[in-house]
Amino acid sequence: MVLVINFVALKMSLNLKKKIFIFSFLFLLFSLASLFYMRHLLISDFNDFLEGEVEDRVYWLTNYLEQRYEKEGELSEKIAEDVIRLALMMGFEIKIFDDSDKLISDTHKTYNKSDEYIKRRLSSYYRRILNKQGGEFKSYPLFSKGEEIGNIEIKFVESNRKGLFLKRSGIFLLLAGFITLLGTFLFSFLLSRNMLVPVEILYKATKKVISGEKNIRLKKLSNDELGELIDAFNDMWKTLKQVEEARKISVAKFAHELRTPITIIQGELEGMLDGVMEIDKQRIYSIYEELERLKKMVYELESLYRLEKKTKMRNREKINLTLFFNAVKDIFKNEISKKDGLNLIIDCPDEIYFLTDQDMLRQLICNLISNAINSTDKGYIKVTAKKESNILQIVVEDTGKGIERNDIPFIFDPFYGKGKGLGIGLAIVREIVDIFEGKIEVESEKGKGTRFIITLPEK
């Protein structure tokens, strides 16, 4: 597991900077492309707006000419000059022809004929026309009552608005591009610093774990997810240390539990061989009891191994839970009677049936009761069972010594028990609950007792 964590951290450390750079570069390209595209859309919309405005003005001019013709009965030079002056202020250079294609007047002729006051009013518009030579005239026929009365040629002279708009949009594009570039750089820098530093710390810490270094404690750098990741690493390392300590204690305890009966057997046999002890029935029975103790240890280990390999129930049958728990109570009758003031109470309603593996369920309950007997001198051990829908809940509680709060997370680990025996009983209980696809919870208070709550689904 540690090797996998180390490999992932190494891979992240090697590739994360490159990934951040590539992401930032792609983000920058996308942002710049978006800015250019937005500018293109703005210019396109602005051009469409100008074209539409020009068409509206052309329509107004032609319509005004036609109305003046209908009102005065002719397309006179005075009418043409009035329209030309209006058109000049609109940004148009125009020529007006009668129905025989004779030029009535144009922008230059009209401006030159105007008095000084009008020239001053029109000078800025006229200079714009003079400064922007080129372009083509578009011809528009003029009609009155369905008959052509002449035509008007119009050339639009672009105002400074378009140039100003293009200039300002270009400045905006440069400014936005600079801000995007600066923002991307700052984002990449801050992201690299805030992400890569904790990852690098975690990577180095995992290398220390692999090398066997102890007392590793990482400093939390932030309160975000990376800070929580460092907290998780510290919690993981704390748990690994606790598991390692538990393993050492378990090995020592296992060696002690094996050594005690072996030493007793060896001592008694040596005494018999040396003639110090008599070879009688009592001595032989004593050796037999120690062998039974060894046999029980081996049996418990074998049971745990067998359950760890087992993944599902095989011998399922519908059992009467009332009869089942009463039979379990009978198993412990003699053992309970050896302790004055200790009672085993069964609380199970009549006629409750449950589909399960009876042998495995019996082993589960017997291990919990046996564990309770070992930790309880007086008071009671109570087994409560109730079934709702297809869920069976079994509660085994006692008024015994209780369990230390720090020990509760590890009581289901093999060899962790602090009482008599190898401490395999609760490990077997957990394996059985897992096979049943149920769950087990523990509530305990030192000096007041322990409560195991088992929930099993009917399958």
What does the alpha-carbon distance between residue 418 and residue 374 come to, in Å, rounded to a whole number? 11
For residues 401 and 442, membership in a common domain is answered with yes
Task: Give me the pLDDT at residue 423, please.
Answer: 64
**Same domain, yes or no: 326 and 438:** yes
Domain count along the chain: 3
For residue 91, the domain's CATH number is 3.30.450
What percent of the chain has a predicted confidence (pLDDT) above 70?
A: 83
Which pLDDT score, from 0 to 100, does residue 311 have?
55
The per-residue pLDDT for 420 is: 53
Query: Whole-prediction pTM value?
Result: 0.47
Q: What pLDDT, on a 0 to 100 scale, did the predictor assign at position 257?
A: 65
Q: State which of 305, 331, 360 marks the end of a domain.
A: 305
Within-domain flag for 214: no
Q: Are residues 245 and 319 in the same domain?
A: no
SS (H, E, C) 322-357: HHHHHHHHHHCHHHHHCCCCEEEEEECCCCCEEEEE
Q: What is the mean pLDDT of the chain?
A: 80
427 inside domain = yes
Residue 203 belongs to a domain = no
For the packed helices 2-72 and 160-191, what is the interaxial angle rounded to 10 degrees? 170
pLDDT at 313 over 60: no
Mean per-residue pLDDT, 272-288: 79
Look at 87-91, 135-139, 247-251, 402-406 and tell me which has the smallest mean pLDDT. Answer: 247-251
Q: How confident is the model at residue 7 (pLDDT cuts 50, 70, 90)?
A: very low
Whether 12 is in a domain gets the answer: yes
Domain containing residue 387: CATH number: 3.30.565.10
What confidence score (pLDDT) does residue 125 get? 81
Q: Is residue 48 part of a domain?
A: yes
| Together in a domain, 271 and 299 | yes
80 pLDDT band (50/70/90 cuts)?
A: confident
Assess whether 333 and 366 both reside in one domain: yes
Domain boundary, last residue among 305, 325, 357: 305
- Same domain? For 11 and 152 the reply is yes
* Burial class of residue 393, CB neighbours in 10 A (0-12, 13-18, 19+): middle
Residues 233 and 323 in one domain: no
Helix (H, G, I), strand (E, B) or coil at 433: helix
Q: Who wins on pLDDT, 28 or 161?
A: 28
Which of the residue ranges 340-354, 377-391, 418-432 would you say has the lowest mean pLDDT? 418-432
248 alpha carbon, distance to own chain's centre? 37
The answer to whether residue 279 is domain-embedded is yes
Contact 104, 80 (CB under 8 A): yes
Cα dihedral sign, 402-406-410-414:
negative
Residue 217 inside a domain? The answer is no
For the ranges 216-225, 279-288, 405-414, which has the lowest average pLDDT?
A: 216-225
Last residue of a domain, one of 280, 305, 330: 305
In a domain, 119, yes or no: yes
Q: What is the pLDDT of residue 386?
A: 92
Nearest to 318 by CA among 277, 288, 352: 352
Judge whether 415 and 422 are in contact, CB under 8 Å. Answer: yes
The domain in which residue 298 lies consists of: 225-305
296 and 335 inside one domain: no
Look up the CATH number of the domain holding residue 269. Answer: 1.10.287.130
Q: What whole-number distance in Å separates Cα of residue 88 and Cα of residue 83?
A: 9
Structure confidence at residue 441 (pLDDT): 93
Residues 256 and 297 in one domain: yes
| Alpha carbon distance 370, 328 (integer Å) | 11
Q: How far apart are CA 302 and CA 296, in angstroms?
A: 10
Together in a domain, 275 and 337: no
Kindly state whether residues 298 and 353 are assigned to the same domain.
Answer: no
* Per-residue model confidence as pLDDT tens digits over 236-262: 877 777 777 766 766 666 676 677 778
300 and 323 fall within a common domain: no
Per cent of the chain over pLDDT 90 is 12
pLDDT at 75: 84
Q: Are 257 and 295 in contact (CB under 8 A)?
A: no
**pLDDT value at residue 144:** 86
